[in-house]
Chain A
């Protein structure tokens, strides 16, 4: 791999330290380094040829069956070992220092029944391998150590994603195990050009990160940029995808997410097929997709599984819901405080009638209710699931009703708050919905100061920010501005599948054509 992570060597690195020829010394060193924790298993063995050896691994990270197999193979006659310790030729490549033949590993890697086995003479490497679930074999008199891949631990089964539920579409979701996740992706994209490039990030945490993309489709500059940004990450432990997202994002002070996170393999597969890049991160079911545009937030994978008319209408509905979630409370303030005249007179009278006993101006009322709502939401998330729903119902209905009866807020206010909340739930992306919740308060403030004029100024500022925003070099407001009319086929309206001939032009992919329109059936690349 040409990209070396700066965090390749950990802080407790013993650069250059090599195992000694003595078995006892090696075992002791390993015990010292790890302070012989309870889960470190070291088993001394006597191999078939009579040599002494030791096998070390971490309990719980190794596949028990595989380990038994390894031990059996080592201890049974089947393994012929040259007593001189000379290795077979094919193993020579793994050991540059093996020229003093007495120091070499007498056990041939090819004869152990595990998928991957390699030689190592670097203590850092050996210890890290043990800590990630490999089994190390030490043999008396050998300076080399054989590392046997025996990873296998308890991981959550593939389940339906919790955060992005859809009605029609695959039900599997990513898990915390990166291997399962790559498998889920491979099962969807059976293209030979699907590339996984792995990185190990974090000085102490050592997280595996895989850059996944479709070679020959994705713009190579984009892949280079993603890899470059990943290699800049130098942190002790990037826990979860959130750390990595924040580190590599274009503008970290923007309220808008510039990288999409998802639990759905079909979403990632679709993005990769479009010419985007995905990051698979070990230890979290939330994988990252980049670059994205604002329009990505109103699109759901379901749109592609359903009838195109229905999907288009739903997308329009989501756009409306985003606007409602952003502007409705602000509009309420503006209309009541500044522009009564804008409302139809009957409605204005009825609102004024219901606000009769309310002691606060509309601004205070709105801030009060919106804050209460956010409070309820936060409480609902923190509480255990069954109680959380109760809080939602109790909070929403009872507090709202009681507040109206007590004359603190007007019934119209409760309606406004409820509609705003529902509209914000209709947005498919949680990250975007959170941004909108945040900005809503800004809009409310602007409305409180300048009414409709304030709202439009806030909208303009928002649009300037969006127009300047980029996600990995791709304009965030595309394909609206810069105008790419070809990309409007899959923007707010999704045209029938047969008409989505090209990949998004704004991504500048290498292979633009998705649908073969050539009658000859020859795909021209």
Chain B
């Protein structure tokens, strides 16, 4: 049945910030204290987070500038008007690969962590499959519904972080943070690289900007969303180092989940809080994965214009499942993550920024031609 259109008011900047934040808060935060602790000494990782945050915000602002430039037309259409359709198709292919890989990576992470913290006997394949089916269910609905889902889940995720922080400070030892400023520049840079990788994902603004009521506010919204993620990274990192110390955090696979394990409530109501923490965290990881899958479908739609949504999903879902199941062990899984991150930097960040330059030049020459 046709519905009245008046309720379909597009997304506000605040909601877009929440969407970006839920995209960025995913698996990365769960392992961040470990990767950062291995790269830096003592508590110096905070500089890496701050620096990487600034870089990410700058890149985010640039990418969203590109999105704003595209105006009302979809990003890929805009790209093909700038760099010709074959090149745009290549870009679409890489972005599709990236988004699909991203989605698969998050799913595999969910399966791995679930196996470690929730069930020990259930095979990883089944856990991932169940998650994937829910993702397919999610993308078969409306896309603005997905954006609404972000807005629904983010508060729950933020409040669980607050709970962890409030109850976790009992074990916080300030001595663990000392000494300050002992890491060299290379270490900091290496740490920054890790943080930037965990902050990738803001490229979704390229596609979701069409839902915004006032697209010109996109850069602000993106920067706001990244800021939320950076603040959460900082809070979790300092708590993890304060509780486990640098050496401890380095040797725990999922330090953030272990943080939740340390928590004890008055009256011992929950014995193992980390299960609950992780279960809530699944919601934000789901958001990340489902948006990735949705956008992979969107890129594919650009490549194959006549394909229906159902067929696209029927092709993409098994592909993602295969990517998801390819790594056999943790190092391979980490390698997959690194590969996807490089793909993200290339296809998701650098090329859109290049497009921005290109469009600026084109506009410049056009203006120049006008004056002639």
Bound-state CA distance A460–B270 (Å) is 23
Contacts of A473 in B (CB 8 A): 3-8
| A221-B130 in contact (CB<8A) | no
| A460-B283 in contact (CB<8A) | yes
Total number of residue pairs linking A and B with CB closer than 8 Å: 129
* Interface presence of B250 (CB below 8 A): no
Bound-state CA distance A481–B279 (Å) is 21
| B271-A468 in contact (CB<8A) | no
Given the known interface contacts A463-B149, A473-B4, A473-B5, the answer about A342 and B11 at a Cβ–Cβ threshold of 8 Å is no
Q: Which of B150, B275, B282, B286 is the one whose CB lies under 8 Å from A342?
A: B275
* Interface presence of A175 (CB below 8 A): no
Question: Do most interface residues of chain A lie in helix, strand or loop, or is the interface mixed?
Answer: helix
| A483-B12 in contact (CB<8A) | yes
| B6-A508 in contact (CB<8A) | yes
| A344-B151 in contact (CB<8A) | no
Q: Which of B127, B148, B276 is the one whose CB lies under 8 Å from A481?
A: B148
Bound-state CA distance A506–B286 (Å) is 27
| Closest chain A residue to B282, Cβ basis | A456
* Interface presence of A441 (CB below 8 A): no
Residues of B155-213 at the interface with A, using a CB-CB cut-off of 8 Å, are: none
Q: Which of B4, B18, B118, B151 is the one whose CB lies under 8 Å from A339?
A: B118
Contacts of A338 in B (CB 8 A): 118-119
Bound-state CA distance A173–B69 (Å) is 58
Task: Pick out which of these stretches binds chain B: A1-9, A43-51, A447-455.
Answer: A447-455
Bound-state CA distance A291–B276 (Å) is 35
For A452-488 the 0/1 string (1 means CB < 8 A from B) is 1111110111011101101011110100111100000
Task: Pick out which of these stretches binds chain A: B84-92, B101-109, B133-141, B360-368.
Answer: B133-141
Contacts of A483 in B (CB 8 A): 12, 14-15, 18, 151
The interface size bin for chain B is 35 or more
Bound-state CA distance A201–B355 (Å) is 59
Contacts of A291 in B (CB 8 A): 7
| B119-A506 in contact (CB<8A) | no
Chain A CB within 10 A, most for which of B8, B145, B153:
B145
Given the known interface contacts A341-B272, A468-B145, A481-B149, the answer about A451 and B118 at a Cβ–Cβ threshold of 8 Å is yes
Contacts of A482 in B (CB 8 A): 9, 11-12, 15, 148, 151
* Interface presence of A250 (CB below 8 A): yes
| Closest chain B residue to A508, Cβ basis | B6
Residues of A270-308 at the interface with B, using a CB-CB cut-off of 8 Å, are: 291
* Interface presence of B146 (CB below 8 A): yes
Residues of B273-332 at the interface with A, using a CB-CB cut-off of 8 Å, are: 275-276, 279-280, 282-283, 286
| Closest chain A residue to B280, Cβ basis | A456
Contacts of B118 in A (CB 8 A): 338-339, 451-453
* Interface presence of A229 (CB below 8 A): yes
Bound-state CA distance A343–B269 (Å) is 7
Given the known interface contacts A464-B138, A467-B146, A473-B4, the answer about A480 and B152 at a Cβ–Cβ threshold of 8 Å is yes
| Closest chain A residue to B152, Cβ basis | A481
Chain B CB within 10 A, most for which of A341, A344, A453, A483:
A453
Shortest distance between the CB of A332 and any CB in chain B (Å): 15
| A467-B275 in contact (CB<8A) | no
Q: Which of A341, A451, A477 is the one whose CB lies under 8 Å from B148?
A: A477
Top-6 shortest CB links A-B: A473-B4, A481-B151, A473-B7, A481-B148, A468-B145, A474-B7
Q: Which residues of A contact B (CB under 8 A)?
A: 219, 221-222, 224-225, 229, 250, 291, 338-339, 341-346, 348, 450-457, 459-461, 463-465, 467-468, 470, 472-475, 477, 480-483, 506, 508
17 additional A-B pairs beyond A450-B127, A472-B3, beta carbons within 8 Å, are A250-B1, A338-B118, A344-B271, A345-B271, A450-B130, A454-B130, A457-B131, A463-B153, A464-B149, A467-B145, A473-B6, A473-B8, A481-B151, A482-B9, A482-B12, A483-B15, A508-B7
Instruction: Report 16 cross-chain contacts, Cβ distance below 8 Å, ordered by A residue.
Output: A291-B7, A339-B118, A341-B271, A344-B271, A450-B130, A452-B118, A452-B276, A453-B119, A453-B130, A457-B130, A457-B134, A464-B137, A467-B141, A467-B152, A468-B141, A473-B7
